[in-house]
Amino acid sequence: MLALIGGTGFENDGIITDCDEVLVETPWGAPSAPLVFGCLGGEEVIFLRRHGARHEWAPHRIPYRANLWALKKAGATGVIGVGTVGGIGEAMTAGTLMVPDQLLDYTWGREHTYYDSPEAGVKHIDFTLPFDENLSGLLVRAARRTGNTIVEGGCYACTQGPRLETAAEVQRFARDGANVIGMTLYPECALARELELPYAGLCVSVNSAAGLRESRKVIRFEALAEAVNRAVAGAVEVVREALRLERELREENGLA
Ligand code: HPA
């Protein structure tokens, strides 16, 4: 069964149904919220509210290690991480979806590995491609099948937050090769890799990054509500279809 980590769009009433909420503990503490065993469009999913049930966890404080550990323990076979982003290039204006295939990490001090004690030992995961290609491809196929435009591939810059960036920082990230900026997919994707859990990102652009286009002087999320709501609804459709595709594939392979 696939797991979904997200918030915006998936927490509304009636999106995830038939829910069973389970409080869990892990060697890394409690996850951000109880695990929700439910259905999205009739497809089973384990949903985790990344920022907590009351949106209390800031990006740099999210218990990422507990979150991924809990999902693995609950039997997740892969994780879709949905995150809002600020877009850099014209292709990523507010309201656009993207499945990233690369990552730049600008965070610091986050608990980003399970291998940080002599007891755990040392492990160097391969991270050449930080997102799982098959699961990312599934999201792209799901977007096509539902008629949602999606940018296939791109570089996700993860910042520490919770503040947004300066215009100069955005210029630097653009020079480094970033296409979108968010605050949460790292260390999620690295921890998933350590646990050998396939992980794909689904980015929802909710603004142009600081200093660009409509955000030239200030970022006003309110002004973009309509485009954002459309993109969020698109993301829900894409995930729903991806869950269906994944089940069909499992059934075809006799693994269901
Ligand atoms: N920067 C970082 N994270 C974000 C942004 C942004 O502009 N928009 C949404 N999440």
The response to whether residue 181 sits with its C-beta less than 6 Å from ligand 1 reads yes
Instruction: Supply the pLDDT for residue 256.
Output: 60
pLDDT tens, residue order, the chain (256 aa): 999 999 878 988 789 998 899 999 999 999 999 999 999 999 999 999 999 999 999 999 999 999 999 999 999 999 999 999 999 999 999 999 999 999 999 999 999 999 999 999 999 999 999 999 999 999 999 999 999 999 999 999 999 999 999 999 999 999 999 999 999 999 999 999 999 999 999 999 999 999 999 999 999 988 788 888 888 999 999 999 999 999 999 999 886 6
Rounded distance from Cα 11 to ligand 1 centre (Å): 19
Which of 93, 98, 207 maximizes ligand 1 atoms within 8 Å of its Cβ, making it the mutation to test the pocket?
207
Nearest residue (by CA) to ligand 1, atom 5, is 86
**Does pTM top 0.95 for this prediction?**
yes
Instruction: Supply the pLDDT for residue 223.
Output: 77
Phi/psi zone of residue 154: left (φ > 0), alpha (ψ -120 to 50 degrees), beta? left
The response to whether residue 85 sits with its C-beta less than 6 Å from ligand 1 reads yes
The response to whether residue 8 sits with its C-beta less than 6 Å from ligand 1 reads no
Instruction: Supply the pLDDT for residue 254.
Output: 83
Contacts of 27 (CB under 8 A, 6+ apart): 69
Instruction: Supply the pLDDT for residue 91.
Output: 95
Contacts of 7 (CB under 8 A, 6+ apart): 49, 50, 51, 55, 82
The 10 Å Cβ neighbour count of residue 146 is: 17
The response to whether residue 165 sits with its C-beta less than 6 Å from ligand 1 reads yes
Nearest residue (by CA) to ligand 1, atom 6, is 86
The response to whether residue 86 sits with its C-beta less than 6 Å from ligand 1 reads yes
Could you identify the atom of ligand 1 that is nearest to the CA of residue 87? 7
Instruction: Supply the pLDDT for residue 225.
Output: 86
Q: Where are the beta strands (DSSP E) in the chain?
A: 2-6, 16-22, 35-40, 43-49, 78-87, 97-99, 102-105, 150-152, 155-158, 180-182, 199-208
The response to whether residue 87 sits with its C-beta less than 6 Å from ligand 1 reads no
